[in-house]
Amino acid sequence: MNAPFPSTASGNDPRPPLQLLIAAPRGFCAGVDRAIEIVERALQKYGAPVYVRHEIVHNRYVVDSLKAKGAIFVEELDEVPNDAPVVFSAHGVPKSVPAEAERRKLLYVDATCPLVSKVHRQAERQIEKGQHILFIGHEGHPEVIGTMGQVPDGQITLVETVEDVATLPFTQEDDLSFLTQTTLSVDDTREIVEALQAKYPQIVAPKAEDICYATSNRQAAVKEIASGCDLVLVIGAPNSSNSLRLVEVAQRMGTDARLIQRASEIEPKWLEGVGTLGLTAGASAPEKLVREVVDRLSDWRVVTEEVITTTEEKMVFKLPRQLTE
C-alpha cells in the first residue's frame, strides 16, 4: 500500500526535485517501545535516579532523552548503589547478572525483549535435553552475551559465518541444536542454517524462527524500495545490529546505502545524481528522527514523499507486573 504525502514544490522553487520512498514498517518495534516505557515508568514509580545497565536500546537520541529524565547508564552492576533501582536492557543479560542483583538485594526490573527471552528459554530446554547449542550471532553483541550466558560454559558454541561451520569439530553422532540472535540478516542466517543442516543432518531446529518479526519486516520493506532508489539512508546506531543489516540489505540489491544517526550527518554531496532516495529506520530509532531527516533533505531539494508499506505491525508486549501494580 502506497501512501503519498503532498509535494512542497512551487513553480519557481530553485531546489531540484527529490522523490523520497519511506519504508514501512520502520523504527520502533514492540520490544523497544516496552523497554523505553519500563525506564520511564520506573522513574515515575521510584523517582530519579534509576540506573540502567547498558544502553536500554542502541540509540543515542533515546539514551540521551532518558538521561535528561533521570536515568543513569552504567556498564556493570558494581556501579549501582545498593539502594537504587536498576533496569536491565532490552538485549537481555547473562544469568549471572540477576543472580548478582539478588545477592546484593537490588531492586531490579528486567526490560529484556520478550522475543529474546523466548530464545533464552529455548536454550535452557535444549541444554536440559543434553544438546550442545550452536548459536548463530555476532560476537560481542549484548544479545549474544546474554543468550550465551543462559547456559553453562562449554555447552554453547558461537557461529558467525558459513565459513565457521566448516571448522566446527562436531560429528553427525553428536546431539546438536541451533538458535539465532534475533536481529540478524534473514538471508545470511538462512545460508548458515543450510550449511549447518548439510553438515549435521541430525541438528535440531528451534520450533519457530528466532529472528524477530520486526527485523524480518524491516528488511523486507527495504528490499521493496531499494531497487527503485539511487541511495538508501538508514537511521540507526553503529552498534545497532538490525540497523546495520538494513544497510547491507540495500547494498546487496546494488543500491548505495548509508547509516546515519542524525540528519546533521547527511552531506549534500551524497545527493548528487540522486533522483529517488529511500529512507528507513532501525528498530531503536524514533520516528522523530525520520521527520528530522525529511526536513533536512527539504533544505536542499523539493521533496515528494511516498510511504511504501509492506505489512502492518500490531505487536504489543506487556509491561513487568512490578510496574503496573
Q: Which residues of 277-296 are buried (b: 16+ CB within 10 A; e: fewer)?
A: bbbbbbbbbbeebbebbbeb
CA atoms within 13 A on the CB side of 236: 28
| Distance between CA atoms of residues 89 and 150, nearest Å | 16
- Encoded amino acid at 142, one letter: P
| Cβ count within 10 A of residue 258 | 15
Q: Which residues are documented as binding site for [4Fe-4S] cluster?
A: 29, 113, 212
What is the grid cell recorded at 198?
548439510
| Distance between CA atoms of residues 35 and 89, nearest Å | 7
The residue assigned the cell 550442545 is 132
Pick from 78, 122, 126, 119: nearest CA to 101: 78
- Encoded amino acid at 290, one letter: V
What is the grid cell recorded at 174?
553428536
Q: Which residues are documented as binding site?
A: 29, 58, 91, 113, 141, 182, 212, 240-242, 284
CA atoms within 13 A on the CB side of 87: 35
**Which residues are catalytic, by number?**
143
Q: Which residues are documented as binding site for isopentenyl diphosphate?
A: 58, 91, 141, 240-242, 284
User: What DSSP letter does each residue of 30-41 carry, written as one string?
Assistant: HHHHHHHHHHHH
